[in-house]
């Protein structure tokens, strides 16, 4: 009594300071990623950790056997021996994780025992800790574009990485503390859930693209090689920079992104060390459309023509004599037709993809103008697309001094000896056919809260005007002829008016027979609503130097998506060579 009277407050504070107050984290829910139609591409679902309070259960010895029986019945992954060992070796622990990430259905099956009047009183020391598990309903669809998360809700690649801070929220917390009357009180701070991001991706278009890319590669594959080193497709709206689809092959399962069993046998995997497997995974996760660079080849030729027309150095009525070769500084640079195309107009040079004529145009344009317009069009600069890992290409272009050398100017004119990315070329090509506006490409169009309230609308951004409307219209007429009567016939679709350009780029080292073939096109002709770009890097065939491999993929995709997008049809002439149905790969 004397101690309480003289030093009670002092000792009360000491005792209270030694008490363990209850403090529990309440996890936030990471925001969803949805496509343009509201279809969920990535979401978080409730899962639960099964927690054993050994101290409490040991204090209720009469309930140990029944608790163990019900737990192991509802959760087969929890073994009886594990529980008994925990009760014995960690007898005073109040937090032992028996199982992680069990579903709501599994948890509910156990709770029915706890809620039952007869069995509930025989259970003790078990509780559930709520967490969230990231789930991708369409598993392999748009895998490198959507991305995935690692532990701790950290986005690793794709949109999950780029918008990590937007998708993540803030954990809440439940506090237990003693008030001035020494009564336990609870204070709850609710979590702040992450925000949802709305994308321009169209799941239907993305699925069609991936299906055709897969079919192409499986058709050309053999026992030793895949159908190609890489096949990639990018589809976007040339009028605002919105991306509808972005895919490459092979893909991977977002729900199990480190699983290589679909690509390698157990024996092959056993022979790969950790570093080798990581290299494979990094290559698999890479978004080819954004992160890989290559020589574009003849898909760059429309830009060379645009330079001449926009600068006024070409009028459109010029002709060029192609004899099949240009001799520059002791080198012979050949045209695709080594015997020569003969007299070529500008339209004919694009239709026939004539290197000789393009080289002659570059002499008229000159190195300084070529250097200026190449950068005006966005080459050598990042597009700042809202995706991680965009490759730098500034060091992969010639300087103005280098372009003063005729041989460098000549080879650049038909897309050789400099590098670009798919997103860079597609964005610039969109400007050539939309009237001249270079848009910043983007995937995310809006941000919403969990209740669906719009927090931010992301509007299209015009970076600059790169060509006039007149030049754009003139180029489109040339590009239409490429598809109707030139090298791009295979890409044409009966009943639709479209334009485009083929590409056949000889890879380094020259002469080894390896090519990157491509096609870029748009529809409809007058007011383009959709742009498609396809690359096939080293098709698995003896003779790779044919853009028809990329054109077949483009044709088969367009046959399906043009009606879906309600693209305007035209009255076709009876003698049209365009195909209406799917083209069999390998034919």
Q: What is the mean pLDDT of the chain?
A: 92
For 555, phi then psi, to 5°, come to -55, -50
Residue percentage of the chain with pLDDT more than 90:
75
- Containing domain of residue 429, as a range? 291-509
- Whether residue 276 lies inside any domain: the answer is no
- Whether residue 130 lies inside any domain: the answer is yes
Q: Is the pLDDT of residue 21 over 60?
A: no
Distance (Å, rounded) from C-alpha 441 to C-alpha 200? Answer: 11
* Domain count within the chain: 2
pLDDT tens, position by position, 442-456: 999 999 999 999 999
- Whether residue 254 lies inside any domain: the answer is no
Q: Which of 28, 32, 40, 26 is nearest to 195 (CA)?
A: 32
Bridge pairing between strands 196-199 and 33-34: parallel
Instruction: Judge if 188 and 297 occupy the same domain.
Output: no
Q: Is the pLDDT of residue 189 over 50?
A: yes
- Whether residue 224 lies inside any domain: the answer is no
Residues 500, 491 contacting (CB under 8 angstroms) = yes
Q: In this predicted model, which residue has the larger pLDDT, 213 or 16?
A: 213
134 band by pLDDT with thresholds 50, 70 and 90: very high
Q: Which of 509, 540, 566 is the last residue of a domain?
A: 509
pTM for the whole structure: 0.90
pLDDT tens, position by position, 249-293: 989 999 999 999 888 888 888 889 999 999 999 999 999 999 999
List the single range of 21-25, 123-127, 313-317, 324-328 with lowest mean pLDDT. Answer: 21-25
Residues 192, 169 contacting (CB under 8 angstroms) = yes
- Whether residue 205 lies inside any domain: the answer is no
What separation in angstroms does the CA of 3 have from each of 10, 12, 166, 182, 540? 10, 11, 57, 19, 91
Neighbour count for residue 458 (Cβ, 10 Å): 17
Query: Mean pLDDT throughout 389-406?
Result: 94
Instruction: Judge if 189 and 310 occupy the same domain.
Output: no
Q: Which of 168, 199, 230 is the last residue of a domain?
A: 199
pLDDT at 19: 47
The token duo for 113 is: 């025992």
- Whether residue 333 lies inside any domain: the answer is yes
User: Which CATH number belongs to the domain containing residue 453 in this structure?
Assistant: 3.40.710.10
Q: Which of 509, 533, 562 is the last residue of a domain?
A: 509
Please identify which residue in the block is written with the tokens 């077949």.
552
Q: Which long-range contacts (CB under 8 A, 24 or more apart) does 561-565 make?
A: 561/204, 561/205, 561/208, 561/235, 561/530, 562/493, 562/496, 562/523, 562/530, 564/204, 564/205, 565/205, 565/529, 565/530
The token duo for 1 is: 């009594």
Dihedral of CA atoms 265, 271, 275, 281 in degrees, nearest 10, equals: -10
- Whether residue 270 lies inside any domain: the answer is no
Bridge partners of 243, per DSSP, are: 236
Please identify which residue in the block is written with the tokens 């007299």.
343
The token duo for 564 is: 């879906």
User: Which CATH number belongs to the domain containing residue 50 in this structure?
Assistant: 3.90.1310.10
């Amino acid at each position: 009594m004397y101690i309480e009277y003289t030093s009670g407050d002092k000792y009360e504070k000491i005792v209270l300071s030694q008490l363990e107050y209850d403090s529990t984290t309440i996890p936030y829910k990471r925001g969803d990623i949805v496509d343009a139609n509201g279809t969920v591409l990535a979401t978080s679902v409730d899962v639960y950790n099964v927690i054993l309070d050994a101290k409490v259960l040991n204090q209720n010895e009469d309930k140990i056997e029944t608790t163990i029986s019900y737990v192991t019945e509802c959760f087969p992954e929890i073994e009886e021996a594990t529980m008994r060992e925990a009760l014995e070796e960690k007898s005073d622990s109040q937090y032992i994780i028996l199982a992680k990430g069990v579903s709501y259905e599994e948890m509910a099956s156990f709770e029915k025992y706890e809620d039952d009047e007869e069995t509930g009183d025989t259970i003790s020391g078990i509780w559930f800790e709520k967490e969230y598990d990231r789930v991708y309903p369409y598993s392999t669809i748009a895998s490198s574009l959507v991305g995935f998360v690692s532990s701790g809700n950290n986005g690793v690649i794709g949109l999950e990485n780029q918008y990590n801070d937007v998708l993540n929220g803030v954990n809440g917390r439940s506090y237990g503390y003693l008030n001035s009357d020494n009564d336990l009180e609870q204070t709850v701070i609710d979590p702040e859930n992450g925000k949802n991001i709305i994308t321009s991706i169209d799941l239907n278009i993305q699925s069609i693209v991936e299906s055709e890319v897969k079919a192409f590669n499986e058709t050309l594959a053999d026992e030793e090689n895949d159908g190609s080193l890489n096949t990639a497709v990018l589809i976007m709206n040339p009028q605002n920079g919105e991306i509808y689809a972005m895919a490459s092959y092979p893909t991977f399962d977002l729900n199990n992104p480190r699983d290589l069993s679909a690509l390698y046998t157990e024996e092959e995997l056993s022979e790969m060390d950790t570093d080798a497997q990581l290299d494979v995974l990094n290559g698999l996760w890479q978004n080819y459309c954004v992160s890989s660079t290559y020589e574009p080849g003849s898909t760059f030729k429309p830009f060379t023509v645009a330079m001449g027309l926009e600068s006024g150095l070409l009028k459109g009525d010029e002709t060029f004599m192609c004899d099949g070769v240009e001799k520059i500084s002791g080198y012979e640079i050949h045209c695709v037709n080594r015997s020569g195309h003969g007299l070529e107009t500008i339209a004919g040079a694009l239709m026939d993809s004539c290197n000789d004529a393009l080289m002659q145009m570059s002499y008229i344009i000159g190195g300084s103008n070529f250097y200026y317009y190449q950068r005006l069009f966005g080459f050598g600069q990042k597009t700042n697309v809202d995706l991680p890992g965009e490759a730098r290409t500034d060091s992969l272009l010639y300087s103005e001094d280098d372009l003063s050398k005729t041989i460098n100017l000549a080879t650049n004119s038909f897309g050789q000896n400099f590098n670009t990315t798919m997103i860079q070329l597609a964005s610039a090509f969109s400007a050539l056919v939309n009237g001249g506006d270079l848009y910043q490409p983007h995937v995310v169009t809006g941000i919403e809260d969990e209740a669906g309230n719009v927090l931010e609308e992301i509007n299209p951004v015009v970076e600059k005007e790169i060509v006039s409307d007149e030049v754009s219209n003139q180029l489109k007429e040339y590009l239409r002829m490429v598809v109707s009567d030139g090298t791009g016939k295979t890409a044409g679709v009966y009943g639709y008016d479209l334009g485009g350009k083929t590409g056949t780029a000889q890879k380094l080292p020259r002469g080894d027979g390896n090519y990157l073939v491509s096609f870029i096109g748009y529809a409809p002709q007058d007011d383009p609503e959709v742009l498609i770009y396809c690359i096939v890097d080293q098709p698995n065939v003896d003779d790779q130097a044919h853009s028809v491999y990329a054109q077949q993929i483009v044709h088969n995709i367009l046959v399906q998506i043009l009606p879906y997008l309600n693209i305007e049809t035209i009255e076709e002439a009876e003698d049209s060579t365009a195909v209406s149905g799917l083209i069999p790969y390998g034919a």
